[in-house]
């Protein structure tokens, strides 16, 4: 990789794409030329980057000529079609969709956990699922110390995980409820304002959603831990930004709250926010727009003989998407 | 008990008290005279009952003369002070607070589960915690069929569980956020609008909240199952009414989704809402103001060798409080 690569952002006008551009700027990533790509509908718009207005271009097969690094976040179908073309053109793709995550030829990477896997890439690198990434930021350091066997987890996921249209849907529905008007739906199958939906992504034959299955599948790959088991319920909540996850984790080695806290205090990319007596614990509102995830509510699990409960929150547009992608890009430059 | 007892509602103007009055009316409970009791602040107000305006009186030591049945929902301190006085005056107390729930001399009853325990009462009967009651409505029939050993549960609890002031707090904060004004707090330690709070009730030395500990303690007593273990995270969400709970349950006997569904379809007070392909699953908005709880998202637990995941929702002011209290009163009349 060049020391100042030409970078393309695919899906530049989406909720994650916008965060990718902001994150490249904020972290002073050494961008040569920046190419913003999106659907024909968005072509012609401009987006600011380091004080300049960059035009958004339509994504085509020829978009990747001269591009060294492409950050994709335009959905699985776009990734499946264009990421191999980009890779063939000599570009390294960091893909935020689920299209290639479980492909054995594609590293699935959280830099704080398995940056070493990047050395095996063949042009495409996958960014993990947001809920999985945020959970693993707290779980992996505990796994290193105490060896996790399985987790039971429930998520509290923000609407921005669905995209910009879902943010608008929550805003619109809140206004409708406040005004006493009928609530209209476009994005979610049920009202999200003042409600919670026990469905994130589509259902699999075994009754889990795809989102729920990702925790186990992606967790195994990222942690290099094929025996890891995860029972997960993913729930959409009327929060704009940042996901939270309640976790019960079982370990092989004896765990104490003090030992777990000591491990988590040293973990990269993680803040321990855990002083219940002062009402201090991770909150989605507090985690929003922060690079670090937050962990707290540490306590021994009372239904596991060797387990720990914790509560983790993180900005799913950042650590769950844009930040992690840019961190991978930074690793590639090292 | 008289066939048409004189009934007092203590805490008549609170969120649960108002539901108690409505539930007595809707279910045509045979009320002789209705006495509405509250703090001096509320005395003088009137509340409607079967088309008449009933004055609210100040609760005093002498309030229970001639009262046969008193439904208490005015907090633990009021219950501890006045419930024994009422019982001494010959009144049967059904207490919605946590004051007497774990008292060996006090039955803790969900009529669909352990109505038989009522025969041992000595004047005071306890109504269970709302989150516990809603969870057990689905868990107990499964326990009867498959023998539960432990559960891992996370709750999504509505603000009305805190009371009328919390409903106003969510309404006010939503208005403040929409108007771009600073958010003010009176009830919760953090903003609840567009946020989730991993704290319901106060913290115990072991790191769990009181609310979280109730599931195990009250569950053991109600199910007559002293070995039952429950690892719970209780979370407040910006929903006005009805709690939801994500549960992973481990059983002694082999469980299948089909066998579990067959059991739940026959369970009293419970609706099975479980057709994910049609986006049908329990929702707090749908469970609100309903007598029955709803269960769905049935699937084998992928981290337990013999477990089931489910999602249950119920109106915590009804099955979690007022309805259950009136159902206990109905049992006493049988």
CB of B306 within 8 Å of any CB in chain A? Answer: no
Contacts of A191 in chain B (CB under 8 A): 285
Among candidate residues A186, A187, A181, the one with its CA nearest the CA of residue A201: A187
Output the pLDDT for position A305. Answer: 94
Output the pLDDT for position A153. Answer: 98
> What is the C-alpha to C-alpha distance for residues A86 and B5, in angstroms, rounded to an integer?
79
Q: Has residue A1 got a pLDDT over 90? A: no
Would you call B297 and A244 a contact, using CB atoms and an 8 Å cutoff? no
pTM: 0.97
Chain B, residues 145-174, CB within 8 A of chain A, namely 150-152, 154, 156, 174
Percentage with pLDDT > 70 across chain B: 100
Chain B, residues 242-281, CB within 8 A of chain A, namely 244, 246, 248, 257, 276-277, 279, 281
CB of B299 within 8 Å of any CB in chain A? Answer: yes
| pLDDT tens per residue across span A90-111 | 999 999 999 999 999 999 999 9
Contacts of B216 in chain A (CB under 8 A): 302-303
Among A91, A121, A143, A243, the one annotated catalytic: A243
Would you call B281 and A198 a contact, using CB atoms and an 8 Å cutoff? yes
CB of A297 within 8 Å of any CB in chain B? Answer: yes
Position A302 confidence tier, pLDDT thresholds 50, 70, 90:
very high
Active site residue A91: no
Alpha carbons within 13 angstroms on the beta-carbon side of residue A61 total 1
Contacts of B185 in chain A (CB under 8 A): none
Output the pLDDT for position A5. Answer: 98
> What is the C-alpha to C-alpha distance for residues A28 and B146, in angstroms, rounded to an integer?
58
CA distance A168 to chain B (A): 13
Among A130, A234, A293, A309, the one annotated catalytic: A130
| Mean pLDDT confidence for B34-63 | 97
Would you call A309 and B174 a contact, using CB atoms and an 8 Å cutoff? no
Would you call A207 and B297 a contact, using CB atoms and an 8 Å cutoff? yes
Kindly report the average pLDDT of chain B as a whole number.
Answer: 97
Secondary structure (3-state) at B67:
coil
What number of other Cβ atoms are within 10 A of residue A26's Cβ? 12
Contact A205, B302 (CB under 8 A): no
Residue to mutate among B134, B139, B152, with most A CBs inside 10 A, is: B152
Strand B243-251 vs strand B307-314: parallel, antiparallel, or unpaired? antiparallel
Catalytic annotation, residues of B: 130, 243
Chain A, residues 59-118, CB within 8 A of chain B, namely none
| Mean pLDDT confidence for B18-31 | 98
| Mean pLDDT confidence for A157-186 | 97
Output the pLDDT for position A257. Answer: 98
Q: Closest to A303 (Cβ–Cβ): which among B150, B277, B281? A: B150
CA distance A229 to chain B (A): 5
Active site residue A302: no
Contacts of B284 in chain A (CB under 8 A): 195-196
| Mean pLDDT confidence for B92-113 | 97
Output the pLDDT for position B98. Answer: 96
Contacts of A187 in chain B (CB under 8 A): none
Output the pLDDT for position A137. Answer: 98
> What is the C-alpha to C-alpha distance for residues B193 and B191, in angstroms, rounded to an integer?
6
Q: Closest to B233 (Cβ–Cβ): which among A189, A216, A309? A: A309
Output the pLDDT for position B180. Answer: 96
> What is the C-alpha to C-alpha distance for residues B213 and B23, in angstroms, rounded to an integer?
29
The token pair that represents B79 in the structure block = 């219950």
Contacts of B194 in chain A (CB under 8 A): 238-240, 285
- ipTM exceeds 0.90, yes or no: yes
Could you tell me the sign of the dihedral formed by the alpha carbons of B13, B19, B24, B26, in that order?
Answer: positive
Output the pLDDT for position B120. Answer: 87
Q: Angle, to 10 degrees, between the axis of helix B323-333 and the axis of helix B15-26?
A: 40
CA distance B25 to chain A (A): 27
Would you call A207 and B239 a contact, using CB atoms and an 8 Å cutoff? no
Contact B299, B308 (CB under 8 A): yes
> What is the C-alpha to C-alpha distance for residues B105 and B124, in angstroms, rounded to an integer?
9
Q: Has residue B286 got a pLDDT over 90? A: yes
| pLDDT tens per residue across span B142-189 | 999 999 999 999 999 999 999 999 999 999 999 999 999 999 999 999
H runs (alpha helix) in chain A: 15-26, 76-88, 111-114, 130-146, 164-178, 210-223, 257-265, 284-287, 323-333
Phi, psi of B59 (to 5 degrees): -70, 125
**Quick one: how far is CA B129 from the chain centroid?**
5
Would you call B230 and A311 a contact, using CB atoms and an 8 Å cutoff? no
Q: Has residue B198 got a pLDDT over 90? A: yes
Q: Has residue B1 got a pLDDT over 90? A: no
Output the pLDDT for position B165. Answer: 95
| pLDDT tens per residue across span A213-237 | 999 999 999 999 999 999 999 999 9
Helix, strand, coil % over all residues of chain B, rounded to 5? 35, 25, 40
Would you call A300 and B206 a contact, using CB atoms and an 8 Å cutoff? yes
């Amino acid at each position: 990789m060049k020391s100042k690569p030409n970078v393309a952002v695919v899906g530049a006008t989406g909720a994650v794409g916008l965060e990718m551009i902001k994150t490249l700027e904020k972290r002073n990533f050494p961008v040569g030329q920046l190419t913003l790509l999106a659907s024909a509908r968005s072509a012609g718009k401009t987006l600011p980057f380091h004080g300049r207005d960059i035009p958004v271009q339509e994504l085509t097969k020829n978009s990747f000529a001269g591009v060294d690094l492409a950050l994709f976040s335009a959905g699985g179908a776009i990734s499946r079609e264009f990421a191999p073309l980009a890779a063939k053109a000599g570009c390294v793709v960091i893909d935020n969709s689920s299209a290639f995550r479980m492909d054995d030829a594609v590293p699935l990477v959280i830099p704080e956990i398995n940056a070493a896997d990047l050395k095996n890439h063949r042009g495409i690198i996958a960014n993990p699922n947001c809920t999985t990434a945020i959970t693993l930021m707290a779980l992996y350091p505990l796994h290193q110390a105490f060896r996790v066997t399985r987790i039971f987890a429930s998520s509290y996921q923000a609407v921005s995980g669905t995209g910009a249209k879902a943010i608008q849907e929550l805003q619109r529905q809140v206004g409708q409820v406040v005004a006493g008007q009928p609530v209209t739906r476009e994005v979610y199958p049920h009202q999200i304002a003042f409600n919670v939906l026990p469905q994130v992504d589509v259902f699999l034959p075994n009754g889990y959603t795809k989102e729920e299955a990702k925790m186990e599948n992606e967790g195994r790959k990222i942690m290099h831990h094929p025996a890891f088991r995860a029972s997960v319920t993913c729930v959409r909540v009327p929060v704009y930004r940042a996901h939270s996850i309640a976790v019960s984790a079982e370990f092989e080695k004896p765990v104490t709250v003090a030992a777990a806290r000591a491990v988590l205090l040293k973990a990269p990319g993680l803040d321990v926010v855990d002083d219940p007596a002062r009402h201090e614990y991770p909150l989605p509102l507090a985690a929003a727009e922060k690079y670090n995830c937050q962990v707290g509510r540490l306590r021994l699990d009372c239904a596991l003989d060797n387990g720990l409960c914790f509560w983790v929150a993180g900005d799913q547009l950042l650590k769950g998407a844009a930040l992690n992608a840019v961190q991978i890009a930074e690793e590639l430059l090292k």
